[in-house]
Amino acid sequence: MKFVFFGLLGLLPAVFAAFGVTTSGNNLLVDSGGGLVTTINKSNGDITSLVYNGKQLQDSSKYTQLSSGLGKWSVKRKLSLAILTQSYRTHYYIVRSGVNTLYIGTYASAEPDVGELRFIARLLKSALPNGIPAAEMNGGSTVEGSDVFLVNGQTRSKFYSSVRFIQDQVHGVTGSGVGAYIIIPSVSYETSSGDINNQGSAQQELYWYMNSNHEQTESYRTGFFGPYALAITSGSAPSASLDTSFMDSLGLQGYVAASGRGTVSGSYSGTLSGPTVTIGFKNSAAQYWASGSGGSFARTLMKPGTYTVTLYQGELEAGSGSVTVSAGKTSSITLSSSLSRPSTIWSIGTVDGTPSGFLNADKIQTMHPLVFPLFSDSRMSNWGPVTFTVGSSSAGSFPMAQFKAVNNPTTIKWSASSSQIGARTLRIRTTEAFAGGRPQITVNSWTSSAPAAPTAVDSRGVTRGTWRGINQVYDFAIPSGTLVSGSNTITINIISGSSGDTFLSPNIVYDSVELF
């Protein structure tokens, strides 16, 4: 690894004369000149001390580092530049005079042997006690694995601190007169697949995950991760507008300056009026997002290359295209939804790639469905099994997830008119599946064939606070003569060749159910 520290001089007046880097034994002492003094171990790159206006913020038993520490480094220093070298990674810390922020960049050509690539600030809990409440697990007992806990009757997990990249530019922890925040400009997610922001344990752990295998649906990207920053404040959150333009001339490995990037603008059509519209861009080297509004969108600061472009209706893939980005230029693309939009007899939920509006969907991202040993979290509604009556039941009574060993089956009651019977299709859209779970239906006395198992994703899925996996659509052709004028019963069973106990049994997450 290479560990590189740049000190940028002359940015503020001489009142910040303490700014600079000094060597003390095996340590680099980095003084921002604005109240923050950072100590870095020259042998392994760990941050062992963060003193802000005389207050120690760094935990002394576990340090701030990449991943869980990356071993020994060789050291070379020239003026205000120190380089620690080890294999295929380069990590940068940069401090600007008078600014209490560590500007950070990480280059990696492969995942570290110790596990997922992540930056962890392990901070002193007494100085920074206030993290994300759903991720505060200190003193709890284990509910699932080694990462979901029960604290005072509520489930807690570091997974519950996750925020979608498109929404997450600043997150942090606070104490009396102090705050520590990670800042991630939107461009800085271009190589990342992480998801955890915070865990409150004996330490206050503040994360920026660069790569995570939790519900991983694409191969890892490598290269330059960032720029990102660890900002220390007097408590309030810093601006998400992190000026990193000064990095353009520093020659950071893998870094692409603004002048070497391009823009895509375009238009879209055919999406539903309710769900938000997002346009995604991806290739093997980078990924980006843009929000759509009024039929148009634009995305700046993209690395050159050819990208697959996806039009999302909510979080459901609705259309696609391809665009090539060139440095200093604006490319254009027109997208349209290719989603099938049949005239439905009835529908449950919105076709948007999420379980929004369904039973417990508003809770699942910050609560585990299971409290040890066999009872649902008291803040959640009973999972069922549920009987849903078309025309009188609300979408909020339909389960957002169905587990083979918990709430199987889901029953739909429907009274049909003579014009609504005959050969029909029941379409079930799902956003995620676990352990090969998929739906099979029975309509009155007729039972469908069993669908093939969905593409497997190696993750626990919904029990770790997410509905986001691989969207699937199941179309069941109901033969003529099956439905009758009057009362009909449709049951949805989750089937699988695998098994599991309760909420770790095969399961699916619903997006919508439509009859047409």
Residue 388's CATH number = 2.60.120.260
pLDDT at 19 over 50: yes
Judge if 383 and 470 occupy the same domain.
Answer: yes
User: What does pTM read for this prediction?
Assistant: 0.92
Domain final residue pick, 312, 336, 360: 336
Of 197, 235, 236, 191, nearest to 211 (Cα)?
A: 191
Judge if 159 and 283 occupy the same domain.
Answer: no
Residue 308 belongs to domain with CATH number = 2.60.40.1120
Judge if 492 and 469 occupy the same domain.
Answer: yes
Judge if 244 and 266 occupy the same domain.
Answer: no
Q: Using the structure block, give the residue that is written with the tokens 């996806």.
A: 310
Q: What is the pLDDT of residues 120-156, one digit of tens each?
A: 999 999 999 999 999 999 999 988 888 999 998 899 9
User: Considering only 7-21, 178-192, 496-510, which range has the smallest mean pLDDT?
Assistant: 7-21
For 232, list phi and psi in degrees, rounded to 5. Answer: -105, 125
Q: What pLDDT is stored for residue 458 in this prediction?
A: 80
- Asked whether the CA dihedral 478, 481, 485, 488 is positive or negative, the reply is negative
Structurally, how many domains does the chain consist of?
A: 3
Q: What whole-number distance in Å separates Cα of residue 516 and Cα of residue 429?
A: 14
pLDDT at 372 over 70: no
pLDDT at 12 over 60: no
Judge if 437 and 470 occupy the same domain.
Answer: yes
Domain final residue pick, 336, 355, 387: 336
Judge if 218 and 365 occupy the same domain.
Answer: no
Domain annotation covers residue 433: yes
Amino acid letter, residue 5: F
Domain annotation covers residue 13: no
Residue 172 belongs to domain with CATH number = 2.70.98.10
Residues near 5 by beta carbon (within 8 Å), at least 6 away in sequence: 21, 28, 30, 40, 80, 81, 82, 92, 93, 94, 95
pLDDT at 231 over 90: yes
Q: What is the pLDDT of residues 326-345, one digit of tens each?
A: 999 999 999 999 999 999 99
Considering only residues 293 and 89, tell me which one the structure prediction assigns the higher pLDDT.
293
Q: What pLDDT is stored for residue 411 in this prediction?
A: 98
Backbone φ/ψ region at 486: left (φ over 0), alpha (ψ -120 to 50), beta? left
Q: What pLDDT is stored for residue 374 in this prediction?
A: 56
Domain hosting 350: range is 346-515
Average pLDDT for 44-54: 94
Domain annotation covers residue 152: yes
How would residue 457 be classed by pLDDT, with cut points 50, 70 and 90?
A: confident
pLDDT at 15 over 50: no
For 154, list phi and psi in degrees, rounded to 5. Answer: -125, 145
Q: What whole-number distance in Å separates Cα of residue 454 and Cα of residue 97?
A: 54
Domain final residue pick, 277, 301, 336: 336
Domain annotation covers residue 365: yes
Judge if 48 and 186 occupy the same domain.
Answer: yes
pLDDT at 76 over 60: no
Q: What pLDDT is stored for residue 82 in this prediction?
A: 44
Considering only residues 102 and 73, tell me which one the structure prediction assigns the higher pLDDT.
102
Q: Which helix (H) or strand (E) holds 429?
A: strand 424-434
Judge if 232 and 309 occupy the same domain.
Answer: no
Judge if 150 and 62 occupy the same domain.
Answer: yes
Domain annotation covers residue 25: yes
Pairing of strands 486-495, 262-269: unpaired
Average pLDDT for 343-372: 94
Judge if 326 and 351 occupy the same domain.
Answer: no
Average confidence score pLDDT of the chain: 91
Q: What is the pLDDT of residues 239-291, one digit of tens each?
A: 999 999 999 988 899 999 999 999 999 999 999 999 999 999 999 999 999 99
Average pLDDT for 471-496: 98
Judge if 60 and 208 occupy the same domain.
Answer: yes
Q: What pLDDT is stored for residue 3 in this prediction?
A: 58
Q: What is the pLDDT of residues 390-429, one digit of tens each?
A: 999 999 999 999 999 999 999 999 999 999 999 999 999 9
CB contact at 8 A, 424 and 412: no
Judge if 76 and 170 occupy the same domain.
Answer: yes
Domain annotation covers residue 341: no
Select the highest-mean-pLDDT range: 229-238, 250-259, 457-466: 229-238
How would residue 216 be classed by pLDDT, with cut points 50, 70 and 90?
A: confident
Select the highest-mean-pLDDT range: 74-78, 106-110, 152-156, 419-423: 419-423
Q: What pLDDT is stored for residue 80 in this prediction?
A: 40
Q: What pLDDT is stored for residue 447 in this prediction?
A: 98
Residues near 110 by beta carbon (within 8 Å), at least 6 away in sequence: 88, 222
Q: What whole-number distance in Å separates Cα of residue 240 and Cα of residue 247?
A: 17
Q: What whole-number distance in Å separates Cα of residue 19 and Cα of residue 97?
A: 6
Q: What is the percentage of the chain residues whose pLDDT exceeds 90?
A: 76
